[in-house]
Amino acid sequence: MLQTLKILYHQGKQYIPDLRAAKVPGIFLGRPEISLEKVDETRLADVCPTNAILTGPVRIDLGKCTFCAECSRLFPKKIKFTTDYRLTTNERSRLIIHEGDTTALILNPDLVRKEIRKLFSGSLKLRQVSAAGDNSTELELNAAGNVNFDMGRYGIEFVASPRHADGIVITGPVSENMAEPLQITYDAIPSPKIIILAGCDAISGGIFEGSPALNRKFIEENHIDLYIPGNPVHPLTFINGVLDLLGIAP
């Protein structure tokens, strides 16, 4: 018993007090900013591994971006990754960053279904399905519930059974072999239910886009409530995104 108390004491305070205003250490690769500088756009677009850079004018699609920062390494004056981890939105087109954009991504309030905030803002239970995810975003979603990030303080939790869940969080590009299990899991969740895509693989297929081993029908045919970019998704990106969706004020 004394030993247990001693260990507890040695941990000090580990939780992040304010998840809405926390600063990430070091050189986090968050929301990119594109300057108005003139560059060879074709060359710029060509350095991107996932065709996330669009031209005429230059834009970056965060749904495809793997945050490898190859573009900002080769074109440091044109593209800069900021430490802003708020990368979440609920409209696919809002994931596209334009030249000169310097403001954080926000949700389109008109697209948030009314019942979501009414039913889930006090308690949201989520079922996670890794559909050919590489276990990086999965590790970070686990971390979102640990003693540091502790998203349980807002009543947001991952649960074991889809029957207990209010929504599904999908990671990975969705392989053909996972298409059916994903559908079965989603069908087992009682309505109303939400769909969250976590990571660039889930949103667009990422580096796997176009692979014949994928089957993205589920993603294409269902209404997506939240897009969370990242490779992997940072726990703060995930938690803040879900809080935004639930309308829990900063």
Partner 1 sequence: MNSLTLNNHQTVPVAGIPESDYKTFLDYNTGLIIDHPERHCVLYFGYRTNDKIRLIICIADDNEHNILVSATVVAEDSVLDSFSAKVLAFEKFEREIHENFGIKYTDHPWLKPVRYSYSRADKTETISNYPFYSVDSEELHEVGVGPVHAGIIEPGHFRFVCNGEQILHLEIQLGYQHRGVEKLFLEKKKLIQRTILAESIAGDSVIGHTSAFAFLLESMVGLPLSSELLFCRTLAQELERIAIHTGDLSAICTDIAYQLGSSVLGRLRTPIINFFQEWCGNRLAKGLIRAGYNPYPFTRALADRLTTILDAFEPDFKEINDEISRLPSSLSRFERTGMLNYEQLLNIGTVGMSARMNTLVRDIRISHPYGLYSEFNHEPVIKHHGDVYSRVQIRKQEVLQSIAYIRQLMADLPESAGSPQKPFVLLPDSFGISLTEGWRGEICHACITDHSGEMQIYKIKDPSFHNWLALALAVRNNEISDFPVSNKSFDLSYCGHDL
- With binding defined as CB under 8 A, does residue 73 bind partner 1? yes
Calpha distance 146→116 (Å, rounded): 25
Stretch that binds partner 1, among 27-35, 37-45, 53-61, 94-102 (CB under 8 A): 27-35
Task: Tell me the window of 24-32, 52-60, 93-101, 117-125 that interacts with partner 1 (CB under 8 A).
Answer: 24-32
**C-alpha to C-alpha distances, 12 to 5, 8, 9, 130, 148, nearest whole angstrom:** 12, 7, 6, 34, 11
Strands of 36-89 (E only): list them: 53-54, 59-61, 79-81
Q: 228 near 237, Cβ under 8 Å?
A: yes
Q: Does 67 bind partner 1 (CB under 8 A)?
A: yes
3-state secondary structure of 96: strand
Amino acid symbol at 214: L
CB of 185 to partner 1, least distance (A): 5
Distance CA 250, CA 21 (A): 8
Q: Calculate the CA dihedral of residues 227, 231, 234, 238 and round it to 10 degrees.
A: 20
Residues between 32 and 61 with contacts to partner 1, criterion CB under 8 A: 47-50
Q: Considering the rule CB under 8 A, would residue 68 count as an interface residue with partner 1?
A: yes
User: Is residue 213 at the binding interface for partner 1, with CB under 8 A as the rule?
Assistant: yes
CA 250 to chain centre: 18
Q: Which of 88, 90, 204, 231 binds partner 1 (CB under 8 A)?
A: 231
Question: How far apart are CB 181 and partner 1 at their closest, in Å?
Answer: 5
What does DSSP say about strands 32-34 and 96-98: parallel, antiparallel, or unpaired? unpaired
Q: Is 17 in the site for partner 1 (CB under 8 A)?
A: no
Per CB under 8 A, 208 contacts partner 1: yes
Determine if 161 is a binding residue for partner 1 (CB under 8 A). Answer: yes
In this structure, are residues 90 and 111 in contact, taking their beta carbons and an 8 Å threshold?
yes
Closer residue to partner 1 (CB): 65 or 107: 65
Tell which positions 173-202 bind partner 1, by CB under 8 A: 173, 175-178, 180-181, 185, 201
What is the spatial distance between Cα 108 and Cα 93, in angstroms, rounded to a whole number? 10
CB of 108 to partner 1, least distance (A): 28
Q: Which stretch binds partner 1 (CB under 8 A): 52-60, 106-114, 145-153, 220-228?
A: 145-153
Residues that bind partner 1 (CB under 8 A): 3-4, 6-8, 10-11, 14, 24-29, 47-50, 66-70, 73, 81, 128-143, 146-148, 158, 160-161, 172-173, 175-178, 180-181, 185, 201, 206-208, 211-214, 231-232, 234
